[in-house]
Amino acid sequence: MPADPATDPADGEGAVRELLLAARAHDGRPEVEETGPLPREFRGGRHLLARDDAGTLVGYAHLDTAGDALGNQIVELVVHPRRRRAGVGGSLVAEVLSVEHPLRIWSHGDHPAAVRLAARFGLARVRELHRMRLGPTGELPAPVLPDQTTVRTFEPGRDEEAVVAVNARAFDWHPEQGQLTVEELVATERESWFDPAGFLLAERAGRIVGFHWTKIHPDGVGEVYVVGVDPDAQGGGLGRALTLVGLHHLRQVGADEIILYVESDNLPAVTVYSRLGFFVEATDVAYQH
């Protein structure tokens, strides 16, 4: 099953989108729309296109060559649902692993096929990301902000640098989130889902000290996209208060179902979300040699 390396899938973007949409219909992932740009995790970098003898695209792998803060290139790999268990995934993994660079390969939903491939290629589970969900039932507590702290909405063209600075301090430990740049934030403002009314900033003495960035998916599901608190402002309940501010906003705009992603070993955060009614519905796993 040949894999065709490319730096830009432009000549095959329609086929890639069709494959990703088929995977979404079967697996619920990835979050790809029928029009517009491909999801960010499939842009730039390096692309591997696996085709059958008739030239039909049956598998696709994307390598984020910019990598994460730990120096790993990040791999997203998708096989068409009708062409699975036929060696396509194994061929793509073998091709990906020929790259002489540290890699992390994501399996969304901890797919059994990925478990088998990991065992075959000697890959270890190095990171687990829980997807937690909050249903429509149950009352949310009212947020209690620390003294002298107010909340307002994000203003494009004004708040980017301050938010990125807080984000960098809040997530200096995180492989991806801490690398957010002003340019990336501005680019995200052009995404179809971006809504400044759902980007909530906490201020103290005129300085941004935290934020809760929410998201509404095309199917109406809300998401706790990012909650960040400046380390200098931690310890006073601001994180919990911002979480609740965002949850109330999502409920007010009609998002009955709300999801979030959290590192499985971040026990304090998992505990906070569990107490608010969230439960773990799936786990994404990163594999690495």
d(CA 157, CA 165): 15
Q: How does DSSP assign 179-229, residue by residue? A: G--HHHHHHHTTSTT--GGGEEEEEETTEEEEEEEEEE-TTS-EEEEEEEE
d(CA 205, CA 224): 26
Given a contact cutoff of 8 angstroms between Cβ atoms, the answer to whether 60 and 78 are in contact is yes
pTM: predicted TM-score of the whole model, two decimal places:
0.88
Question: Hey, where are the domains in the chain?
Answer: 3-129, 136-256
pLDDT of the residue at 175? 84
d(CA 232, CA 250): 27
The DSSP call for residue 98 is: T
User: Which residue type, as a one-letter code, is found at position 273?
Assistant: Y
Domain 136-256 superfamily per CATH:
Gcn5-related N-acetyltransferase (GNAT) (3.40.630.30)
Nearest to 191 by CA among 62, 64, 63, 43: 43
pLDDT of the residue at 268? 87
User: Which of the four CATH numbers 3.30.160.270, 2.60.120.10, 3.40.630.30, 3.40.50.2000 does domain 3-129 have?
Assistant: 3.40.630.30
pLDDT of the residue at 228? 95
Given a contact cutoff of 8 angstroms between Cβ atoms, the answer to whether 171 and 263 are in contact is no
Q: Binding site membership: which residues? A: 34, 77-79, 176, 215, 223, 227-229, 234-240, 261
Given a contact cutoff of 8 angstroms between Cβ atoms, the answer to whether 229 and 269 are in contact is no
pLDDT of the residue at 11? 54
pLDDT of the residue at 111? 86
Q: Binding site membership for acetyl-CoA: which residues? A: 77-79, 227-229, 234-240
Q: Where are the beta strands (DSSP E) in the chain?
A: 3-6, 46-51, 57-64, 73-79, 103-107, 124-134, 149-153, 199-204, 207-216, 222-229, 258-263, 279-288
d(CA 237, CA 11): 51
Q: How high is the mean pLDDT in each 10-residue block of the chain (289 residues)?
A: 51 87 92 85 92 94 90 94 94 93 92 93 96 92 95 98 97 88 95 95 96 95 96 90 97 96 92 94 94
pLDDT of the residue at 10? 53
